[in-house]
Amino acid sequence: MGGVVAKIESPRKVWVPETKLEAKMVEALQKRSSKGCKIKSFSSIVLKFPKIDKSLRKCKAIFEQFDEDSNGRIDQEELKHCFEKLEVSMVEEDIRDLFSACDINDDKGMEFHEFIVLLCLVYLLKKEPGNPDSQLQTEMPDLENTFETLVNAFLFLDKNNDGFVSKNEMVSAINETTSGEGSSGPIAMKRFEEMDWDKNGSVNFKEFLFAFTRWVGIDETEDEEES
Ligand SMILES: [Ca+2]
Ligand SMILES: [Ca+2]
Ligand SMILES: [Ca+2]
């Protein structure tokens, strides 16, 4: 070990996970990125939107199947049954954390888009290379690909691999691909602000997923609540 080197870093904030669940997400993302990212440009992500949209919509049938009392949301009890069916093994605490993390409108139920985000988080947390295929794949083979794409899209944006997408990372990801097309900065900013729900200047995987469900239009449900 050498002497103490006083390194003056640019005054950049370091984002730290706020919950245990978030820490697990970050860990899983970092593990994943060590295997490389399959996405090379932001526009290639955008090109995948229609396919992602289609696949997520198909998931509606699965959602309805697990919404046992058909009230339009999956409560904790229903979610437990869902995990049993999909053979997702998770400790009670993690299920609770996942649930409350995805219950954005805090009505103690997973609406369709919340459920999709939750499943994708489960996919990220549970999918280990070398793991025997879970029921998640058997039940929803399409979704597997879609979730993989979403994970890769996030990894593409998260240039420094800290598990969060910062404003600068978003700008540079978009600038990389839109050379010659003029002002992509404002678009990048808009995209970023759409993602950064709690306005803390960084976007975690969950926020990213919620933004995605809106971009591809999955969030446009029939029963519009007053906004
Ligand atoms: Ca229900
Ligand atoms: Ca909810
Ligand atoms: Ca980052």
Taking 80 as the threshold, does the pLDDT of residue 33 lie above it? yes
Q: How far is the CA of 99 from the centre of ligand 2 (A)?
A: 9
Q: How far is the CA of 74 from the centre of ligand 2 (A)?
A: 8
Best CATH choice for the domain 38-58+141-219 from the list 1.20.1250.20, 3.10.450.50, 1.10.10.10, 1.10.238.10: 1.10.238.10
Q: How far is the CA of 7 from the centre of ligand 1 (A)?
A: 54
Ligand of minimum distance to the alpha carbon of 105: 2
Ligand of minimum distance to the alpha carbon of 173: 3
| Same CATH fold assignment for domains 38-58+141-219 and 63-139 | yes
Least trusted range by pLDDT, from 41-45, 66-70, 108-112, 114-118: 41-45
Q: How far is the CA of 72 from the centre of ligand 1 (A)?
A: 6
Q: How far is the CA of 168 from the centre of ligand 3 (A)?
A: 9
Residue 62: its pLDDT value, please? Answer: 87
Give the CATH H-level superfamily of domain 63-139: EF-hand (1.10.238.10)
Ligand of minimum distance to the alpha carbon of 76: 1
Q: How far is the CA of 100 from the centre of ligand 2 (A)?
A: 9
Q: How far is the CA of 79 from the centre of ligand 1 (A)?
A: 9
DSSP secondary structure letters along the chain: ----------S-PPP--SSHHHHHHHHHHHHHHTT--S---HHHHHHTHHHHHHHHHHHHHHHHHH-TT-SSSB-HHHHHHHHHHHT----HHHHHHHHHHH-TT-SSSB-HHHHHHHHHHHHHHH--TTPPP-HHHHH-HHHHHHHHHHHHHHHHH-TT-SSSEEHHHHHHHHHHH-TTS---HHHHHHHHHHH-TT-SSEE-HHHHHHHHHHHTTTT--SSPPP-
Domain ranges of the chain: 38-58+141-219, 63-139
Q: How far is the CA of 221 from the centre of ligand 3 (A)?
A: 32
Write out the two tokens for 170. 């978003």
Residue 52: its pLDDT value, please? Answer: 87
Phi, psi of 74 (to 5 degrees): -100, 115
Q: How far is the CA of 7 from the centre of ligand 3 (A)?
A: 20
Ligand of minimum distance to the alpha carbon of 159: 3
Q: What is the pTM of this model?
A: 0.82
Give the model confidence (pLDDT) of 165-198 as tens digits.
998 898 888 777 655 555 566 777 788 888 888 8
